[in-house]
Amino acid sequence: MHLVITIDTEEDNWGNYSPKGYTLENIERIPALQDLFDEFNVKPAYLITYPVATDDRSLTLLKGIMDRGGCEIGSHCHPWNTPPFEEETGERNSMLCNLPEDLQYRKLQTLHATIIRNFNIEPISFRAGRWGYDKSVANNIHKLGYRIDTSITAHTDWTSGYGPDFSEIPPRPFRFSIGDTQGYMIEIPATVDYLKQNFGFSNHIYKLLASNPLNKMRVVSILNKLNLLNKVWLSPENSDSKSMIALAKSMKRNNCNLINMFFHSATLKAGLTPFVKTRDDERQFLQCIREFLLFARDEGIKSIKLCEAGEGI
Q: Report pLDDT for 45.
A: 98
Return d(Cα 18, Cα 170) in angstroms, integer: 33
Instruction: Single out the residue in 229, 250, 276 at which a domain terminates.
Output: 229
How does pLDDT run across 127-180, given as a tens digit for each residue?
999 999 999 999 999 999 999 999 999 999 999 999 999 999 999 999 998 876
Instruction: Single out the residue in 229, 252, 286 at which a domain terminates.
Output: 229
Do both 44 and 113 map to the same domain? yes
Spell out the alpha helix ranges (H) of the chain: 30-39, 50-53, 56-67, 101-119, 135-143, 199-210, 213-225, 241-253, 279-299
Task: Look at residue 193 and tell me whether its pLDDT is greater than 80.
Answer: yes
Do both 67 and 162 map to the same domain? yes
Do both 211 and 279 map to the same domain? no
- Angle (nearest 5°) at CA 192 between 93 and 168: 70
Q: What one-character DSSP code corresponds to residue 15?
A: T
Do both 136 and 23 map to the same domain? yes
Do both 96 and 209 map to the same domain? no
Task: Look at residue 31 and tell me whether its pLDDT is greater than 60.
Answer: yes
Q: Report pLDDT for 144.
A: 97
Q: What one-character DSSP code corresponds to residue 165?
A: B
Do both 67 and 209 map to the same domain? no
Do both 221 and 293 map to the same domain? no
Do both 104 and 138 map to the same domain? yes
On whether the CB atoms of residues 194 and 229 are closer than 8 A, the answer is yes
Residue 73, strand partner residues: 46
Q: Which of 108, 103, 85, 9 is nearest to 53 (CA)?
A: 9
Do both 151 and 36 map to the same domain? yes
Domain assignment present for 313: no
- Count up the domains in the chain and report the number: 2
Q: Report pLDDT for 313.
A: 79
Structural domain of 210: 196-229
Return d(Cα 118, Cα 25) in angstroms, integer: 20
How does pLDDT run across 202-218, given as a tens digit for each residue?
455 555 555 555 454 45
**Buried b vs exposed e over 131-155: b needs ≥16 C-beta within 10 Å?**
bbbbebbbbbbbebebbbbbbbbbb
Domain assignment present for 84: yes
Q: Report pLDDT for 106.
A: 98
How does pLDDT run across 302-313, given as a tens digit for each residue?
999 999 998 877
The pTM for the full model equals 0.91
Pair type for strands 231-233 and 192-194: antiparallel
Return d(Cα 151, Cα 162) in angstroms, integer: 15
CATH code, 83? 3.20.20.370
